[in-house]
Structure 1
Amino acid sequence: MPSNTPVINDAELLEAARVSKAWPFEEARKIVERLEKEGAAADRVVLFETGYGPSGLPHIGTFGEVARTTMVRHAFETLAPGVKTRLLCFSDDMDGLRKVPTNVPNQEMLANYINMPLTKVPDPFGTHPSFGEHNNARLRAFLDSYGFQYEFASSTDYYKSGRFDATLLKVLEKFDAIMDIMLPSLREERASTYSPILPVSPRTGHVLLVPLVSRNVEKGTVSYEEPDTGEIVEVPVTGGHCKLQWKADWAMRWAALKVDYEMAGKDLIDSVKLASRICRTLGVNPPEGFNYELFLDQEGKKISKSKGNGLSIEDWLRYASPESLQLFMYQAPRTGKRLYFDVIPKNVDEYLSFLTAYPKQAVKERLGNPAWHIHAGNPPTEELPISFSLLLNLASASHSEDKDVLWGFIRSYAPDATPERFPRLDHMVGYAINYFHDFVKPSKVYRAPSEIEKIALADLAEALERAEPQTSAEELQNIVYEIGKTHGFENLRDWFRALYEILLGEAQGPRFGSFIALYGVKETVSLIRRALAGEDLSRG
């Protein structure tokens, strides 16, 4: 549904952006200051970069970095109207395969290609010329489906085409200075064989982790001892004949491409510092950026591409909207967050709340509203009649996985609601059915009411039967409250928890008056009567 929210005046938008405390604006102001210190020319293009290591399938963390960087990019464009920007999604697909991911097929085959560049490793899925190209395609397809504006770059292409050659020769020239930066950060055993320049063996094609025997700055070559044969081999550092170790590679890329902004996970703080020092050694200021906290799986462990733990991108989109995923990325990026299925419903409803609040807010408040950043300053205007949590409880109480059945309840509650008028709500019905089927239904545990609860439930059923057909959700909630108070529930949370556990088989639920209004007064009375009769509510 197109936005009809009043357009913000450019001048007041710029003024609000300059003082906004929303984190994308705080980041964007760092880039503005960078350009001011530089005395940048009018035609200066600001380059944002994100990195991807295609040694494993793309995961939500990969998407999160692009989504967050896009938010900073838009905030910068708001602060600096007219300044051109680019977002480069760079894949380190020339890196050697160091271990076999556990979440892909044909692992025995992949084990034969350890140390080969990822673009030379066969695709275990059999759909692309190489494993690197398969993973690159997966990432691009997903980013394209979101409508991200970006350019994709392949490390293999950049190395082999010569785009990095001038900077690679600079790395060779500054080899000793780079070693001085790196060696103190390494364990003694690793330091004894470390080289920031990794030759690609002409014999095996492997990206070799070997020390260099000699370097020739004038010729632009390095020499090494070929494993197994002991032969001394000389190769150019240019043209894809060598690949840099990743910290040096990161710095070289920043320097070669003149990257202005790149964020990274908290686990890479020390790596950012080292790469920044190397970048300065190469004569270029490192990019601006910040360190975000890591996503954790259900056990509190860092999510990993190779392990495939935590939620996949596809998982989230089976149960919730893309916008709710972007909200998860926007919220508190410097706070570690558990990324598991049970965080989804909350993010869906919070997204809808932010969307509903946006048109009523002043300019400064709007720029702090996540919906502004998720929708690049133009959130749609749409206020839905029910929440996602209510839909989940409707599916739970009705035991229905039929969209038409759920829409029947919705139309009884909101007669003007139709799938055509509320397409977002129609999508939510589908998400709710999927979530109910996969998570709610298998974990539902009903309990029998205690004697006190039986009396309270019987009185509640009678009170609801006396209610007028058009009784509002708020009035129904008051009826439930009064029954709880009358029957001595000192803490009304205990009364509502009893309703959820006895009638819905869950420990918590929605505002109960809203649930009654949606599910239907008669249907709720029937549910209570069945519980009092000892029927098995898990059968629907």
Structure 2
Amino acid sequence: MSDMRDEAMNSKAWPFEEARRVLKRYAKGAPEKGYVLFQTGYGPSGLPHIGTFGEVARTTMVRRAFEMISDIPTKLICFSDDMDGLRKVPGNVPNQEQMAEDLNLPLTVVRDPFGTHDSFGAHNNARLNAFLDSFGFEYEFASSTEYYKSGRFDEMLLLALERFDKIMEIMLPTLGAERQATYSPFLPVSPKTGHVLQVPTLERNVEKGTIVYEEPDGERVELPVTGGNVKMQWKPDWAMRWAALGVDYEMSGKDLIDSVTQASKICRALGQRPPECLSYELFNDEEGQKISKSKGNGLSMEEWLTYAAPESLQYFMFLKPKTAKRLYFDVIPKAVDEYHQQLRAYPGQDDKQKLANPVYHIHGHNVPASDMMVPFSMLLNLASASSAEDKDVLWGFIAKYAPEATPESHPGMDAAAGFAVRYFNDFVKPAKVYRAPTDQERVALEELAACFGDADKALDAITRKNAAMGREDELPKADFADEEFLQSVVFAIGKLHGFEPLRDWFKAIYEVCLGASQGPRFGGFAALYGVEETRALIAKALAGDLV
């Protein structure tokens, strides 16, 4: 383990680079609080989404990397800003009129439109906890309402009151003239209406720990800043939370870079060191536009998990967090196959390679073995060729290809077969476009079908290809169950019929026979689908039955 820790201290994998930044904070010794604190924030005015997943998954990766290089204990808190006032009625909840009546109340006071919890905030917090628990994340849940009301923030709130002018100096230059006139870092919770009010602070009494503000009806009210009587505006609130809890690490989207800057200044004004922060790139849709919940573009987490296992989504989240990535349906098969490629590579890697492998950052030291004998992209082509409506059809081919495999012995493979059928029918099938072969392609496909049915013809094609290339390679054993032999036949036919570049030949096979422009190695497909079935598929394509 010590050797692996040494490697981790030099690893270029981004979670280790982040972890080393956190470790530098405590070069002289462990923190007084006794642990390093990682935080993720969540606004419970809506339901958990793919961004929530990504933030917790990535922060967990950094936490795990830190635990590899340091013996200082760690904590991850998922903080819900549930004392925030409800500013607008979400469009995707029932009982809209009831929700409208509760505008400006703290989310933990707003009545639950679903009728299942004490409040809308409690409902969404429960959804968040169930969501995080379903992925096995280790975290401690924290409620803003609970922290404010229990007094956890009182000491820092009193300090913020004392340093009110410093906070205003930081915030006011970032606001427009109209907002400057009414801005206060403190939002009183009205004793009359329960509303979280956005009103100016008229007077401050540091000794008493109170502020004076004016109610909408004109009455002046004096309130303590402690005990949950006020909530801070969100940038000062973020800073106050960092300072009060001693947060060491937090990441956020690049759209919050300015907020991180202001919150860091306020945290310092409160006498504390702000956390190490990572600003990650946001996701784009297929057209390169920023994903927006209101637009409904891009890909939701629920949609991803409809077509692939959560580990593939964690793999996608691991990749280059500071680089913008397009998040749409076409990335799923690639992510699944790359994840399993990394799983298969892991056991044979040295420590340095293992620490750079995404699967280490997903699973830690307990990296599972892949039971995917067939790539996801191959399953999609199988589903296409067989018009599969359920995974049992795919298992018919898988069982011939790998007789020892069963749905029970290979649950990951079984789940992937189900995902592949669903993905094929929802996305691939509607977009399939077959085309007729060109004259060159027709002759080549006819010879390929003939070679797949006759060992002598297959070996002759390979011999002629070798001769044309000036090579005297030893002929392979003719085995129509061997995908390497079948691939060598496909390669030979492409060369003999003058396809340059050769990828045009493979593209032609898929466009003519499977209605797609790309796919896995055709030799592997033929071995899995069956040589006779492949010959029949080529025959149908040449007869024009697929167009």
Output the amino acid matched with 2:13: A
| 1:239 Cα offset (Å) | 1.4
Cα deviation for residue 92 of structure 1 reads 0.3
1:478 equivalent in alignment to 2:471: no
When residues 42 and 269 of structure 1 are mapped into structure 2, their CA distance, relative to the original with a 3 A threshold, is closer
Distance of 2:295 and 2:118 partners within structure 1? 23
> Could you tell me whether the CA contact under 8 Å between 2:48 and 2:131 is conserved in 1?
no
| Matching residue of 2:40 | 50
Native 8 Å contact 1:103 1:308 kept in 2: no
- What is residue 112 of structure 1 aligned with on the other side? 101
AA paired with 1:47? L
How far the C-alpha of 1:57 sits from its partner, in A, is 1.3
TM-score if structure 1 supplies the norm length?
0.93
User: Which residue in 1 is equivalent to 2:536?
Assistant: 526
- What are structure 2's unaligned runs of at least 5 residues? 456-477
Q: For 2:36, what is the secondary structure of its paired residue? A: strand
Deviation at 1:528, TM superposition (A): 1.0
Distance 1:363 1:42, change over 3 A: farther
Q: Indicate the structure whose relative CO is greater, using CA pairs within 8 Å and at least 6 residues apart.
A: 1
Distance 2:190 2:411 in 1: 56
Equivalence for 1:243: 231
Which consecutive unaligned segments of at least 5 residues does structure 1 have? 1-9
Q: Distance in 2 between matches of 1:460 and 1:470?
A: 13
SS in 2 for 1:289: strand
Q: 1:309 to 1:108 in 2, by over 3 A?
A: farther
Q: Is the aligned partner of 1:389 residue 2:377? A: yes
Contact conserved, 1:58 with 1:305, CA < 8 A, in 2?
no
Deviation at 1:474, TM superposition (A): 1.8
Task: Tell me by how many angstroms 1:399 deviates.
Answer: 0.7
1:383 deviates by 5.2
Secondary structure at the counterpart of residue 453 of structure 2 = helix
Q: 1:435 and 1:108 mapped to 2: Cα distance?
A: 38
Deviates more, 1:349-358 or 1:187-196: 187-196
Match of 2:6 in 1: 15
Contact 1:17 1:79 (C-alpha < 8 Å) held by counterparts: yes
- Asked whether the equivalents of residues 480 and 531 of structure 2 are also in contact (C-alpha less than 8 Å), the reply is no
Task: Report the equivalent of 1:89.
Answer: 78
CA distances 1:156-208 after superposition (whole Å, capped 9, x unpaired): 11111111111111111110000001111112221121111111122222211
8 Å Cα contact 1:59/1:305 also seen in 2? no
Same amino acid, percent of matched pairs: 66
| Among 180, 184, 190, the residue aligned to 1:195 | 184
Summarize the alignment of residues 217-236 of structure 1 with structure 2, pairs less than 5 Å apart.
Answer: 217-227=206-216, 229-236=217-224
Provide, for residues 255-305 of structure 1, a one-character-per-residue CA deviation record: whole Å limited to 9, x for no partner.
111111111111111111111111111111111121111112334333345
Residue 40 (structure 1) aligns with = 30
Among 416, 419, 432, the alignment partner of 2:420 is 432
Name the CA shift for 1:298/1:119 in 2 (closer, same or farther; >3 Å).
farther
Structure 1 match to 2:58: 68
| 1:96-122 deviations in Å (ceiling 9; x for gaps) | 122233333444443333322111222
User: In the TM superposition, what whole-angstrom CA distance separates every residue of 1:193-252 from its partner, at most 9, and x where no partner exists?
Assistant: 11111111222222111112211112211121212x122122221111111110000000
2:321 paired with 1:330: no
Q: Which residue of 2 aligns with 1:5?
A: none
The correspondence for 1:503, drawn from 510, 513, 518, is 513
Alpha-carbon distance in structure 2 between the residues aligned to 1:87 and 1:341:
31
**Shift of the alpha carbon at 1:485?**
2.5
Equivalent residue in structure 1 for 2:524, among 483, 497, 514: 514
Of 104, 119, 122, the match for 1:133:
122
Question: For 2:125 and 2:290, how far apart are their aligned partners in 1?
Answer: 22
| 2:21 alignment counterpart | 30
Equivalent-residue separation in structure 1 for 2:399 and 2:92 (angstroms): 43
Residue aligning to 1:3: none
The equivalent of 1:370 in structure 2 is 358
Q: Does the CA-based 8 Å contact 2:243-2:270 persist in structure 1? A: yes
Structure-2 change in CA distance of 1:105 and 1:452 (3 Å): farther
Retained in 1: the 8 A contact 2:346–2:357?
yes
Question: Mean alpha-carbon deviation: is it higher for 15-24 or for 382-391?
Answer: 382-391
1:378: Cα distance to partner? 2.0
Change (3 A) 1:346 1:488: same
Say which is worse superposed, 474-483 or 293-302, in terms of deviation. Answer: 293-302
1:306/1:50 CA distance change after superposition, 3 Å: farther
2-structure distance, mates of 1:184, 1:65? 30
Residues 1:41 and 1:118: Cα distance change in structure 2 (over 3 Å): closer
SS of the equivalent of 1:48 reads strand
Checking the alignment, whether the CA contact within 8 Å between 1:197 and 1:245 is kept in structure 2 is: yes
Judged with a 3 Å threshold, the aligned counterparts in structure 2 of structure 1 residues 111 and 342 are, in CA distance, closer, same or farther, namely farther
Q: Which moved more, 1:241-250 or 1:120-129?
A: 120-129
Match of 2:141 among 133, 152, 164: 152
Structure 2 residue aligned with 1:398: 386
CA contact (8 A) 1:50 1:90 kept: yes
Runs of 4+ in 1 over 6 A off after TM superposition: none
Q: Which amino acid aligns with 1:457?
A: L
* Mapped partners of 1:252, 1:357: distance in 2: 45
Distance 1:106 1:259, change over 3 A: same
